[in-house]
Amino acid sequence: MKLENMFKKTRISSRTQGHGFGRTMRPEVPEGLLRKCNKCGAAIIAEDVKAGYYICPKCGGYFRVHAYRRIQMVIDEGTFEEWNEDLTGGNPVNYKGYPEKLEAVREKTKLHEAVVTGKGRINGIETVIAVCDGRFLMASMGWAVGEKITRAVERATEERLPVIIYACSGGARMQEGITSLMQMAKTSAALKRHSDAGLLYISVLTEPTTGGVTASFAMLGDVILAEPGALIGFAGPRVIEQTIRQKLPKGFQRAEFLVEHGFVDAIVRREDQRKTLTQILSLHGYEAEKAAAGNGETGREDYRQDPADSEESVKQAAAEEGPSAFPHHQSLTAWDRVQISRKIDRPSGSDYIRELFTDFIEFHGDRNYGDDQAVIGGLARFHGTPVTVIAQEKGTSTKENIKRNFGMPMPEGYRKALRLMKQAEKFKRPVICFVDTPGAFCGIEAEERGQGEAIAKNLMELAGLTVPVLSIVIGEGGSGGALALAAGDEVWMLENSVYSILSPEGFASILWKDSSRAHEAAEVMKLTAADLYQRKIIEQIISEPEGFCQDNLKEVTDRLEPQIRCFLQTYTQLSEEELLDRRYQRFRKF
C-alpha cells in the first residue's frame, strides 16, 4: 500500500459465513508512526517531521511547535536556564469553570502557563528568550503570560541582554477580563525601557499571532521576523469576514502579506532561524561568551580592525587609490554625463552592496504602509564592523526597472530609509547611502501618502542623527528625492553621475517651455560632479573606467573602499556634539 493511502479506508470482500456483502476495514498502522498533514492531507512519517523542523515534507506546511522543542531548535544545548517556571495567575473576574479549565490544560500540556521564558545562548551569544505555546489555551495572554514576559524583559534590561520572543497567540484571555487587557500595556512599557537602554529586541511571529498580542509585544521588535505563511493580524479572518460581509482575498493576513505591506522585516524559514538570529545578534554587537564592551553595552565600533588599519595607513591607502579632484573624461559634455548616468547596464545600488560589504541582511518595510522596492536597506559589515546600508535601486534590466519603479521612491521608501537610520542611531552604527534616482515618484498615490512630508521628515531627522552618514551618488541624483538620502556628513559622486534640482528635461520645460532643449539645460544647471566639487557641494569625486558596467565595477569599489574606511575613522572619533555641529555648518554655508 502506498504511504499516501494509509489513511484511506479500504473496502474488502468477505465471504465468511456465507455473507456476500463488502465491509470496511480500518488500515493497520503502528501507533505513532504516521501523522496526517493538516494542510495537504498527506500521510507523513512522524520521525521525518521531527527531523525536518516540523515541516511537512510533502507540501512544506508548518506544524506548530511546542515551546520546549522550539527552544531546543534555537538555543545551544545545555545553556537554557528557565525563569519563573511555576508562576501562575488567578481568576480575577471569578469566571465560572476557569480554574478547572486551567488545571485540565496544565495536566494535558505539562505546562504551568502559555509561555516559557529564560536565558540561553545562541551559538555562544547570551540572550533572553520567551516562547509562546499554542497548546495552552491558544497561548492567550492573561496575567501570568504578561507577567512572565514583563519579568523576562526587565531582567534582560538589568543584565543588558537582547530579547527574542516567539509569538503565537489567539490574543487576550477573555476569562480574565480587563486584567488581560492591561497586559498589553504592561509588556509594551517593559519593552520601551529595554529599548531606551539601547538593547535589541527581535520578535518572531509564528502561526497564529493575533489579537492583543499582535497589538502589543509582537509588533514592537527592532527586527520583526516571521515564519512562512504564518497568520498574523489584529482581528481574526472570520471576524473580518463577518463584519464586512465579504470573502477575504487569498493570502490576506499571511506573513508574506505583512512583508508586502511594510510590517515585517523578513520571512525566515524554520531551518534558517538559528543562523539568522545569530547573524542579527552579531551585527548588533553581541558576541559569543561575553558582550562586545565587556559589560554588555554596545557602542561605537573601532574601525581599526588590525595594525594594518592604523589611521595613517588608511589615509595613505586612500590617497593612493583616491579620487581625482577633476574627472578623467574631460571631453564629455554635461548632457553626455546625464546620458551615461542613466545607462541601463550601469551598476545599481545592490551591486555596490554585494561588492563592498559582507553579511548583508535586508530589512523590509516602513512599519506604516508598505515595502518600497525602489529603496533597499539593511545591516552589513564593512571590514568586519556593523553598518547600516541604504540604496536607491533602479535595477539593471527592464524587468528590474519596472519592479523597482525605475528607482523613483514612494513615501514608504523614504520612511523605510528613515526607520533604518533611526535604528542605526539607537545601536550607534554608521549609515552609508547609495543615491541613484531620477527623483521621488510623482503620482496620485504618492501625494495621498504624503511624499512631501516623508522627504521633509528625512531631512529634519538627518540633521540630528547622532551617527556618521555618508552618501555616494552613483547615478542620477534627482532633486529632493536624492537629497532625502544625501543630507549627511559628506556627499561623494562618481565621475559620470549627476546631481541637480530636477531633470534637465524638467528644467527646460519649466523655464523655457521646451523640453527638447534638455542638452542646453544640462550645461546651464551645473549638475556634473566637477561642477559640484568646484562649488563645494560635494567632498569627493570617484573616477570611473571607460564603459563603466558591472564587469568593471571592482575598479570603482577598489577606489571607494579606502575612502570609506578613512571617512569612518574620521567621523567615528567625533563626539555627537562635534558631529552634529559639523553637519549643520556643512549646509549652513549654502
Instruction: Let me know whether 399 and 453 are in one domain.
Output: yes
**What are the cell numbers at 157?**
534590561
Is 34 within the bounds of a domain? Answer: yes
75 and 41 share a domain? no
Region 332-344: what's the mean pLDDT?
96
Higher pLDDT, 61 or 327: 61
Q: Are residues 415 and 501 in the same domain?
A: yes
- DSSP-based three-state secondary structure for 328: coil
**Which residues 6+ apart lie within 8 Å of 304 measured at CB?**
310, 311, 314, 569
- The pLDDT tens digits of the residues spanning 296-312 come to 444 434 444 444 455 56
Reduced DSSP (H G I as helix, E B as strand, rest coil) percent helix, strand, coil of the chain, to 5 = 40, 20, 40
Are 40 and 179 within one domain? Answer: no
Tell me the mean pLDDT in the region 323-343: 79
**Cβ-proximal residues to 229 (8 Å cutoff; 6+ apart), any chain:** 61, 62, 207, 254, 255, 256
DSSP string, 470-534: EEEEEEEEEHHHHHTT--SSEEEEETT-EEESS-HHHHHHHHHS-GGGHHHHHHHHT-BHHHHHH
When the pLDDT of each residue in the chain is averaged and rounded to a whole number, the result is 90
Which residue, 283, 315, 336, sits at the end of a domain? 283
Average pLDDT score over residue span 246-251: 92
Asked if residue 266 belongs to a domain, the reply is yes
Residue range 249-269: average pLDDT? 96
- The predicted pLDDT at position 305 comes to 47
Both 111 and 161 in a single domain?
yes
Domain stops at, among 238, 260, 283? 283
- Is the residue at 540 inside a domain? yes
Same-domain check for residues 395 and 270: no
Domain assignment present for 571: no
For the cut 80, the answer to whether the pLDDT of residue 442 exceeds it is yes
Average pLDDT over residues 128-144: 97
**In terms of domains, do 354 and 263 share one?**
no
* 181-203 residue pLDDT tens: 999 999 999 999 999 999 999 99
Based on the fold, state whether residues 377 and 495 are members of the same structural domain.
yes
Is 92 found in the same domain as 121?
yes
Is position 85 within any domain? yes
Give the pLDDT band of residue 370 (cuts 50, 70, 90).
very high
Query: Looking at the domain assignment, is residue 322 inside a domain?
Result: no
**Residues 393, 539 within the same domain:** yes
The answer, yes or no, to whether residue 548 has pLDDT greater than 80, is yes
Q: Which pLDDT score is estimated for 303?
A: 46
Q: Are strands 115-122 and 81-83 parallel, antiparallel or unpaired?
A: antiparallel
Give tens-digit pLDDT for 467-486: 999 999 999 999 999 999 99
- 331 vs 77, residue with greater confidence: 77
Query: 10 Å Cβ neighbour count for 444?
Result: 7
**Residues 39, 84: one domain?**
no
Residue range(s) defining the domain that contains residue 497: 348-558
Q: Are residues 35 and 136 in the same domain?
A: no
Average pLDDT over residues 363-382: 97
Average pLDDT over residues 150-176: 97
Beta bridge partners of 166: 131, 204
* Distance from C-alpha of 436 to C-alpha of 433, rounded to nearest angstrom: 10
Closest C-alpha among 432, 375, 377 to residue 409: 375
pLDDT of residue 42: 84
In a domain, 543, yes or no: yes
In the chain, the number of structural domains is 3
DSSP string, 428-470: T--EEEEEEES-S--SHHHHHTTHHHHHHHHHHHHHH-SS-EE
Does residue 80 sit within a domain?
yes
Percent of the chain with pLDDT over 70: 88
Residue 499: CATH number of its domain: 3.90.226.10
Confidence band of 293 (pLDDT split at 50, 70, 90): very low
Which residues partner with 389 through β-bridges? 378, 432
